[in-house]
Chain A
């Protein structure tokens, strides 16, 4: 080749490399996605290798399992894998029992499987994250074992053992890659989600301290969703045994301190905005508020280290103590003194916020420095168990499966069995891994994944018979999986990658002894294409998630948790753990531009404030005056049942009576230091203002 020719070739190569680099740059090279896609690909290849090695039938099950159990973080992978294994084993046992008892009667099989799907759907709704997924897998496994071995019940046991073995192989491959080769701890994710929630809570505190406005419904929804994510990430992290120096309990204490700070900031905001009887905030309260604002302004932007966090905690604690002394100087009289009440109430709210910020920074210091002691918080249930929603969600896969199975049995269509199986399984499984608002989109994305992979699978059918070694096979199978997960690993698009891998596994059915069949692939493609339509129909026709549906559940859930907290069946952390889930789940799906939705979310937050106050009374030292906690709770409950036009004057009188009883207790010399009585006075003041503002009332028609 001439010198000019080689220079031209060099230029062309350089241009090509530059163009490719530009393409990658434009596509936004994401190292984290690259790592996850690589992990999935390696695990899929490893799983296939081991499955081929032990020469099991249906080796594609191992490939199918990988995208469902592998998560970006190690803890989440262990959680999902454990759920998959437990679900597979329990589904296997149930499947074998069904085969043993009902093998001769196909209609009985359909009925029993529908009941099983219903039960699993109900139980799945009671759990969150991968715990719910375990129930979904139990339903799926029983369906597979029963329907696939229906014509030959004697094979059911070996079939079930193969299924479990393939699952175990996939989990082991996932562990080796996700926990050993490319591990990624969940703790940084917990930290970052806590950081995001904290930023929003601090924004609320800033608004409250500056007395600009109460947090908007959108803000309330934002930090509730973030706190919900924090709880879910913490659950994932609990599956990592090597978390350094037990940092998870410290983070749990931090999250708890954050929730308490948030509730206190909202009470502060509401009390200062609405409780004043005069034209202006009393002078001592304004002065205390300014001091708190100054301390808050001086915090600066950067993340503090442990010493700095401790020092900040000390500064807020000093203000708390000083205000405590100022408040105790105000002696209460039995008869109401509006000015004094306003002053004490305002000072009390400022003091409480300072106290919570001191606690929050102390919790921060304990996270940053593992040698520091911290107040342990016992883990609580963070899932709101909505029975009505569970019954609805359980009915969906049961009805969908029963309908498609009936069509299959009466039409005699051979692929009807596969369709019934997948429709029942996915309408049970997908809601356990996709958020409710994204269910229909998830169905469409799975369909996109199916269709995307049909031509790829056809191409692989042409190429794979020519490969000689496993490693050539691995490259050909691994490349599309890598591309799928690199492009679609993020958030709502993940079902595309999962759907694509399902199509690759079922359509291609890679096996030790290859027997590729284009007709089978086309058949599978056609059958699977009907499934998303049925799935989307199932979630949009059977108990659709309309605004009215979500409002109804939010209202019912708020009332139920409120009732439990008032009757002492839930303590404060227990209430807030479930309340965050309830509001994050249902409140997150409501459009906050709608006035009714905004008021409904505001009502729920109002209820949370009342519970915070009542629990504050119960947790205080001293005797609670005349069952004040229960009386205030009952009054608030009645207010929460009232419509927008209801006459609330009798409730206001009753709240004043509770406040009067508590003041009388404080006015007696013997009981002057009764902090339960003092908090009752403060809670009565706040509740009075809330009822007066109709904060707890129903916003009118919610259905």
Chain B
């Protein structure tokens, strides 16, 4: 994975971009899960929500294009 990306000449860590993209996807999925009351099937819903974010973050990092 590229270490840094350039935005208007400023270098930002690429991992931040991955975290933001994962956050956006998580936000939508979490909203849907709340509407469907899906989290109630878990023993500790907050932990499950965090785990979902971590999975998404790992996936985004794994498929991050190396440009």
A residues lining the B interface (CB < 8 Å): 157, 161, 176, 179-180, 183, 241-242
Contact of B10 with A176 in the complex, beta carbons under 8 Å? no
Contact of A241 with B30 in the complex, beta carbons under 8 Å? yes
Apart from A241-B34, A242-B39, 14 more pairs, CB < 8 Å: A157-B10, A161-B12, A176-B50, A179-B46, A179-B50, A180-B46, A180-B47, A180-B49, A180-B50, A183-B46, A241-B30, A241-B31, A242-B34, A242-B45
B50 contacts which chain A residues (CB < 8 A)?
A: 176, 179-180
B residues lining the A interface (CB < 8 Å): 10, 12, 30-31, 34, 39, 45-47, 49-50
B31 contacts which chain A residues (CB < 8 A)?
A: 241
What is the predominant secondary structure among interface residues of chain B facing chain A?
A: helix
Determine the distance from Cα of A535 to Cα of B39 in the docked complex, in whole angstroms: 47
B12 contacts which chain A residues (CB < 8 A)?
A: 161
Determine the distance from Cα of A161 to Cα of B30 in the docked complex, in whole angstroms: 29
Q: Quick one: closest A residue to B50, CB to CB?
A: A180
Determine the distance from Cα of A161 to Cα of B49 in the docked complex, in whole angstroms: 28
Determine the distance from Cα of A183 to Cα of B34 in the docked complex, in whole angstroms: 17
A161 contacts which chain B residues (CB < 8 A)?
A: 12
CB distance from B59 to the nearest CB of A (A): 19
| A-B pairs with beta carbons under 8 Å apart, 6 shown | A179-B46, A179-B50, A241-B30, A241-B31, A241-B34, A242-B39
Determine the distance from Cα of A180 to Cα of B10 in the docked complex, in whole angstroms: 34
Determine the distance from Cα of A180 to Cα of B42 in the docked complex, in whole angstroms: 13
A176 contacts which chain B residues (CB < 8 A)?
A: 50
A157 contacts which chain B residues (CB < 8 A)?
A: 10
Determine the distance from Cα of A241 to Cα of B33 in the docked complex, in whole angstroms: 11
CB distance from A344 to the nearest CB of B (A): 50
CB distance from B10 to the nearest CB of A (A): 6
Q: Quick one: closest B residue to A241, CB to CB?
A: B34
Determine the distance from Cα of A241 to Cα of B30 in the docked complex, in whole angstroms: 9
Complex A-B, nearest 10 residue pairs according to Cβ-Cβ distance, in ascending order: A180-B46, A180-B50, A183-B46, A180-B47, A179-B46, A242-B34, A241-B34, A157-B10, A242-B39, A176-B50
Determine the distance from Cα of A300 to Cα of B29 in the docked complex, in whole angstroms: 46
CB distance from A56 to the nearest CB of B (A): 11
Determine the distance from Cα of A157 to Cα of B47 in the docked complex, in whole angstroms: 35
CB distance from B26 to the nearest CB of A (A): 11
CB distance from A96 to the nearest CB of B (A): 9
CB distance from B23 to the nearest CB of A (A): 11
Q: Quick one: closest A residue to B31, CB to CB?
A: A241
Q: Quick one: closest A residue to B39, CB to CB?
A: A242
CB distance from A300 to the nearest CB of B (A): 34
Q: Quick one: closest B residue to A178, CB to CB?
A: B46
CB distance from A174 to the nearest CB of B (A): 13
Q: Quick one: closest A residue to B44, CB to CB?
A: A180
Q: Quick one: closest B residue to A175, CB to CB?
A: B50
CB distance from B27 to the nearest CB of A (A): 9
Determine the distance from Cα of A241 to Cα of B39 in the docked complex, in whole angstroms: 12
Determine the distance from Cα of A646 to Cα of B61 in the docked complex, in whole angstroms: 76
Q: Quick one: closest B residue to A183, CB to CB?
A: B46
A183 contacts which chain B residues (CB < 8 A)?
A: 46
Determine the distance from Cα of A493 to Cα of B62 in the docked complex, in whole angstroms: 47
CB distance from B40 to the nearest CB of A (A): 9
B46 contacts which chain A residues (CB < 8 A)?
A: 179-180, 183
Q: Quick one: closest A residue to B47, CB to CB?
A: A180
CB distance from A248 to the nearest CB of B (A): 13
Determine the distance from Cα of A242 to Cα of B45 in the docked complex, in whole angstroms: 10
CB distance from B35 to the nearest CB of A (A): 10
B30 contacts which chain A residues (CB < 8 A)?
A: 241
Q: Most chain-A CB neighbours within 10 Å: which of B10, B12, B31, B46?
A: B46
CB distance from B44 to the nearest CB of A (A): 8
Determine the distance from Cα of A157 to Cα of B10 in the docked complex, in whole angstroms: 8
CB distance from B56 to the nearest CB of A (A): 15
Determine the distance from Cα of A242 to Cα of B47 in the docked complex, in whole angstroms: 13
CB distance from A85 to the nearest CB of B (A): 12
Q: Quick one: closest B residue to A245, CB to CB?
A: B37
Determine the distance from Cα of A478 to Cα of B21 in the docked complex, in whole angstroms: 34
Q: Quick one: closest B residue to A176, CB to CB?
A: B50
A180 contacts which chain B residues (CB < 8 A)?
A: 46-47, 49-50
Determine the distance from Cα of A345 to Cα of B45 in the docked complex, in whole angstroms: 55
B34 contacts which chain A residues (CB < 8 A)?
A: 241-242
Determine the distance from Cα of A271 to Cα of B3 in the docked complex, in whole angstroms: 73
CB distance from A92 to the nearest CB of B (A): 11
Determine the distance from Cα of A161 to Cα of B12 in the docked complex, in whole angstroms: 8
B49 contacts which chain A residues (CB < 8 A)?
A: 180
Determine the distance from Cα of A157 to Cα of B7 in the docked complex, in whole angstroms: 13
Determine the distance from Cα of A180 to Cα of B46 in the docked complex, in whole angstroms: 5
Determine the distance from Cα of A157 to Cα of B11 in the docked complex, in whole angstroms: 10
CB distance from B8 to the nearest CB of A (A): 12
CB distance from B33 to the nearest CB of A (A): 9
CB distance from A160 to the nearest CB of B (A): 10
Q: Quick one: closest A residue to B30, CB to CB?
A: A241
Determine the distance from Cα of A161 to Cα of B7 in the docked complex, in whole angstroms: 13
Determine the distance from Cα of A176 to Cα of B12 in the docked complex, in whole angstroms: 24
Determine the distance from Cα of A176 to Cα of B49 in the docked complex, in whole angstroms: 11
